[in-house]
Amino acid sequence: MKIRHFVLSLLLLSPAALAGGVDALKAFIGDTKTARASFSQSVLDQNGKLRQKSEGTLSFSRPGKFRWVYQKPYEQVIVGDGSRLWIYDADLEQVTVRKLGDALGSSPAALLAGSNEIEKYFTLKDAGSREGLQWLEARPKDKESTFEAVHMGFAGNTLAAMELRDTFGQTTLLKFSGMVKNPAVNAGEFRFTPPKNADVITD
């Protein structure tokens, strides 16, 4: 069963890291217009049992454009083009299309690729240090959000990890590596054209 959650190398701690996770997030948002990274993802059930492991790559361009590519164990592509969200399951030959709209604002993806108005959609607070990282907790202000809380861990002002806890008690752990900040990106990277043989479902 595939589990979607939306959807970066560790640096030496700098003095900025000592200021706390919230300041690290604001610095990350302020100096990162585009980025690329690899990620590994683990999904745990409410009892802490591992349900799924996967890995892939991501890229984003603020505001509102992103591309997540799951390479293992299943091929899946998730693209936000600024107005629509495209989810392509290669093994099912199926594409799901949804309007992005304001939904991005209160989603975990907004913490990476959204606008600078993070505190309009999330309540932020420092969450201390562990595993050599400075952490923050972000709780969505939208009561209908499927996520209860998102934790983000920073090394300096570079994002290294995220922990997403949903309202069903499930936790998604993301670890990032090889992050490149502000690379040149091709606009076509954030567009998606369904394969000819794929079924397209519009929500």
Spatial CA neighbour of 151 closest among 132, 169, 168, 172: 172
pLDDT for the residue 10: 26
Note the pLDDT tens digit of each residue in 81-132: 988 989 999 999 999 998 886 556 567 777 887 766 788 888 999 999 999 9
- Distance between CA atoms of 77 and 71, rounded to whole angstroms? 9
Bond prior to 108 in cis (omega within 30° of 0): no
pLDDT at 35 over 60: yes
pLDDT at 75 over 80: yes
Kindly list the domain boundaries of the chain, sorted by start residue.
Answer: 15-192
Average pLDDT of 68-78? 90
pLDDT at 189 over 80: yes
Strand partners, 105: none
What backbone phi and psi angles, to 5 degrees, belong to 105? -55, -40
Q: How far is CA 33 from CA 43, 72, 119, 192, in A?
A: 28, 28, 18, 21
Bond prior to 63 in cis (omega within 30° of 0): yes
Residue with tokens 């932020």: 124
Q: What are 151's two structure tokens?
A: 């934790």
Question: What pTM, to 2 d.p., does this model score?
Answer: 0.82
Q: Is domain 15-192 in CATH 3.40.50.2020, yes or no?
A: no
Q: What are 117's two structure tokens?
A: 């108005």
Average pLDDT, the chain: 85
Average pLDDT of 173-200? 94
Average pLDDT of 138-157? 88
Q: What are 77's two structure tokens?
A: 């592509």
Spatial CA neighbour of 142 closest among 174, 110, 99: 110
Ranges 11-15, 36-40, 45-49: which has the least confidence: 11-15
Residue with tokens 């302020």: 30
Q: What are 64's two structure tokens?
A: 């509102």
